[in-house]
Amino acid sequence: MPDRTPEKLNEELNTAKQVQLENVGALTRDQLTPTAAAEPQGHDVAGHDHAPAAEPSESWWRNPYAPAIASLILLLAGLALDYYDVAFFTKYVRLLWYGVAFLLVGWKVIRSAVQSIPSGNIFNEFLLMSLATLGAFAIGEYPEGVAVMLFYTVGELFQDAAVNRAKRSIRALLEIQATEVTVVRGGRSMVLDPKQVQLGDTIEVRPGEKVALDGTLTQGPASFNTAALTGESAPQTKQTGEVVLAGMVNLESLIQVAVTAGYQDTKLAKILAMVQDAVSRKAKTQLFITKFAKTYTPIVVLLATLLIVVPYFVVDDYVFRTWLYRALVFLVISCPCALVVSIPLGYFGGIGAASKAGILFKGSNFLDVLREIDTVVMDKTGTLTQGVFAVQQVVAVPGTEPAALLRLVGALETKSTHPIAKAVVQHVGAAAAGVVVDNVEEIAGHGLRGRVDGREVLAGNTKLLAKYGVSYPAEVDQVVDSIVVAAVDGRYAGYLTVADAPKADAQQTVRELRADGITKIVMLSGDKDSITQRVAKELGIDEAHGGLLPEDKARYVQQYLNDGHKLAFVGDGVNDAPVVALADVGIAMGGLGSDATIETADVVIQTDHPSKIATARRIARATHTVVWQNIWLAFGVKAVVLALGAGGLATMWEAVFADVGVALLAILNAVRIQRMDFTSKGESPRSES
């Protein structure tokens, strides 16, 4: 990552926040710089550019909806004045009235059409919208020109509104790294910027603080929350001399770490760099209308021109005004309003339906890509499992009640601050209240020893029992989960397993995805491979790999992509952010997920239910169906009316129907998505009655 001073970083962040990003998931390294941030930002699909944002001097309205609202009011008022044939509302007054209404919503589109000419991008929807609406004004159909441009603008605003809900500050991604660190030099402690720390320096990390730099633990043991790097729910205990990485959170006591890597070379810094690099490689899907306009627009303009010129040579009673009128009607009819409005609204309908289901799409193109995926790769902890460390099983020796064992162990664990001990205490609850506990000794890296209700109790790992010469069954060593082994009065008494349980809908997720046509379901996890394989088998997942670092996950995903799979990755931790960015569609768990992953993702499941992935697929398919219904409706009607217009058989009334009428029908069809029921499992969505 580039070396930035705090002042430089703040400058870049403030500049980046001003970028009007349509695709929040498509942040590139260049977009973090003032130069790139200052450039006009395009639509979430390559080739489909919005009109450039207004300069500060032009933004006399702060609300983006204000121009459209003002235009609508003027249009409705003008129609009323026309209807009642008000005396003053004629000629120049009428033209000025509708002209103002038109410019409120149309001047950016016209400006964009003009500005695109020098770059060679002449034939786009901006040009066709400009020609069609100005053509309507040329033949005196002012309300038509205003309405067409207003509908187009409203459609763009609707889509922008959906995307804007997904915008989050990029600051969360960059502030994951610690901004200051306590360094011990010459017996003195000083607080420095992590960039100023030298290799070999010793840093201090207090309980609850993030480790700022990679290094080795010089004063152990210590317990760390490693979720930022591995996604593993269970805390890790490190002994003196073991590696500690930046991004880990110290959970217990003051520790010291000998620095072995500079600020820019830490594992966490590499994760953040991977996020930016992977995002820059994300493929974009062009909307159909953009591709089509490149061919459709020049053809329409050429035909309109020929409609004026050719009759001069073949018609005896040629009248220029007559054929000019027909050409302008032809242009109005050919205006792709039903497409440029209903297609974004169709996608907006899908985005809205998804939002109601607790699913947030950051761009319409991700609806298309999600429908096409054949592979789903998921993280384990926090995605398919609850991400909460809890007691899963209590196994007591014959003759001992599990409740009695829990009571003794739980009471002893109240004297420890270790996360596993806290999970046991939380599970035992009030059952341990009032129990007398004394003579407690904490053996580092082993567990606890003490007297509970007058009985000597050991609670910890198997090394603790071995230390005190307590034998235990060999099968205890085969337990996959984290384990608390107990002995009472020098005899083995049983054990507790502490693990992360699958979410209630995890199996349903796998079942629905497979029924929905997903051919490959994979789980990648930073947790122990034995635990990962057990969870995968329990949920019926095809392939699973555990013990992975972020770069390992990225390597697997890249291999699947190289093999031709269309892939979605689902994750929640900071460690998942690079892979979320690398996938064709990145999906984040938004309830408990990290800000970095949510920021990077293309789709956010706000309820943290993995079964929503299948729901999102059903919504994507329904949206695709409705959008293509609108496309064929628009093409069919316009083809007929275009032929009639060229022959002089269609007037502006038919043009209005072919343009505004079809657009209205298409919009109503698009809105229908909002009323569909997507809760049916394994079935196609059906309309609500």
At 197-209, the pLDDT tens digits run: 989 999 999 888 8
AA identity, residue 1: M
Nearest to 416 by CA among 381, 460, 456, 374: 460
Cα 50 from Cα 22, distance rounded (Å): 9
Nearest to 622 by CA among 259, 278, 371: 371
Cα 645 from Cα 139, distance rounded (Å): 14
Q: Which two tokens stand for residue 506?
A: 């995890």
Nearest to 261 by CA among 275, 246, 283, 248: 246
Residue 106: pLDDT above 50?
yes
Q: Which residue has the higher pLDDT, 358 or 314?
A: 314
Cα 32 from Cα 16, distance rounded (Å): 6
The CA angle 526-530-535, to the nearest 5 degrees, is 80
Q: How many angstroms separate the Cα of 561 from the Cα of each of 274, 279, 284, 510, 556?
A: 17, 15, 15, 21, 9
pLDDT in tens, 26-39: 333 333 333 333 33
Indicate yes or no: pTM above 0.75.
no
Sequence-ordered alpha helix ranges (H) in 66-141? 66-83, 91-115, 125-138
Note whether 258 and 243 are within 8 A (CB).
no
Q: Which residue has the higher pLDDT, 624 or 457?
A: 457
SS3 content of the chain, % helix, strand, coil (to 5): 50, 15, 35
Treating both helix axes as pointing N-terminal to C-terminal, what angle do 612-646 and 288-314 enclose, rounded to 10 degrees?
0
The single residue of 160, 379, 481, 500 carrying the catalytic annotation is: 379
Q: Is position 277 annotated as part of the catalytic site?
A: no
Mean pLDDT of 79-106: 93
pLDDT in tens, 458-503: 999 888 999 999 999 998 988 877 789 999 999 999 999 988 778 8
Residue 258: pLDDT above 90?
yes
Mean pLDDT of 168-197: 73
pLDDT cut 70: percent of the chain above it:
74
Q: Which residue has the higher pLDDT, 664 or 408?
A: 408
491-499 and 520-524 strand pairing:
unpaired
Domains of the chain in start order, with CATH, are 198-262 (2.70.150.10), 359-384+503-606 (3.40.50.1000), 387-501 (3.40.1110.10)
Cα 601 from Cα 618, distance rounded (Å): 19
In DSSP notation, 472-536 reads --GGGGG--SEEEEEEETTEEEEEEEEE-PBPTTHHHHHHHHHHTT--EEEEE-SS-HHHHHHHH
Peptide bond into 235 cis (omega under 30): no
Q: Which residue has the higher pLDDT, 480 or 100?
A: 100
543-545 and 520-524 strand pairing:
parallel
Residue 544: pLDDT above 80?
yes
Q: Which two tokens stand for residue 403?
A: 């409740």
Q: Tell me the pLDDT of the chain averaged across its residues.
A: 77
- Give the sign of the dihedral formed by CA 28, CA 561, CA 608, CA 420: negative
pLDDT band with cut points at 50, 70 and 90 for residue 54: very low
The dihedrals phi and psi of 283, each to the nearest 5 degrees, come to: -75, 145
In DSSP notation, 39-56 reads SPP--SSTT-PPPPPPPG
Mean pLDDT of 226-247: 75
pLDDT band with cut points at 50, 70 and 90 for residue 104: very high
Note whether 351 and 570 are within 8 A (CB).
no
Q: Which residues pair with 223 in a beta bridge?
A: 237
Q: Which two tokens stand for residue 338?
A: 């039903």
Side-chain-side CA neighbours of residue 361 (13 Å) = 32
- Ramachandran bin of 52, using left for φ above 0, alpha for ψ from -120 to 50, beta for the remaining angles: beta
pLDDT in tens, 506-537: 999 999 999 989 999 999 987 778 888 989 99
Q: How many angstroms separate the Cα of 504 from the Cα of each of 379, 507, 578, 609?
A: 16, 8, 27, 9
- Give the sign of the dihedral formed by CA 605, CA 609, CA 610, CA 615: negative
Q: How many angstroms separate the Cα of 35 from the Cα of each of 16, 30, 609, 618?
A: 10, 8, 40, 41
The dihedrals phi and psi of 262, each to the nearest 5 degrees, come to: -70, 170
Cα 288 from Cα 273, distance rounded (Å): 33
pLDDT in tens, 107-141: 988 998 899 888 877 776 677 678 777 877 877 87
AA identity, residue 573: G
Note whether 183 and 171 are within 8 A (CB).
no
